[in-house]
Amino acid sequence: MAAALTATAATTSSAAPAHAAACTGYVGLTFDDGPSGTTARLLDALRQNGLRATMFNQGQYAAANPSLVRAQVAAGMWVANHSYTHPHLTRLSQAQIDSEISRTQQAIKNAGGGTPKLFRPPYGETNATVKAIAARHGLTEIIWHVDSQDWNGASTDAIVRSTARLTDGQVILMHDGPANTLAAIPRIAQGLASRGLCAGMISPQSGRAVAPA
């Protein structure tokens, strides 16, 4: 049904993106560590290029910038949990882990971002305890299949090349902040479209990218 609706939209609106009717697969674009001073520009770039993404927000920043959380939602993004202060969760007590996760859930909800269903542990560091506590809060843990290395100073060209490795259902790690990531957005959109891939949502059931609900 989703494919039929997409095809109908493409034929009835000349303003529809050229790749709207050609989704042969979906990938999950994710941006960690927002919202920040660059979030508005990132959202503009994503919207202008017909992309949606999952924003793994830090609770402390969501609490400090509720208007940016609302802007993420208004731009069609999905808001998710990335802990409150970005610690090494596997080094913390169960109570501390719970606090990091639960406070972020509340901060995002209070900011108008809804109740997150996805959780990414900082640095991708996890264990059975972290997973169990996240699950108690109704969260599915999401790591990534491809690391753009934008956190490590990757060039715009390198970030674009990293997205070329994505296949159907896979998730890529990027960040809200690096200038090279922002500059890569138009080329990321072009590259995905050329391969029939569209930006999808990450399923809480499977942890993989699927067609947006």
Q: So which residues are the catalytic ones?
A: 32, 175
Give 3-state DSSP helix, strand, coil % of the chain, rounded to 5: 45, 15, 40
Here the tokens at position 140 are 């599915």
Side-chain half-sphere of 178: how many Cα atoms within 13 Å? Answer: 20
Q: Confirm if 52 and 46 have CB atoms less than 8 A apart.
A: yes
| Cα angle 115, 108, 76; round to 5 | 75
Tell me which residue of 146, 163, 196, 204 sits closest to 26, measured CA to CA.
196
- In Å, the largest CA–CA distance within the chain is 55
Q: What is the four-CA torsion angle of 38, 83, 68, 213, rounded to 10 degrees?
A: 110
Side-chain half-sphere of 190: how many Cα atoms within 13 Å? Answer: 7
Other C-beta atoms within 10 Å of 8: how many? Answer: 12
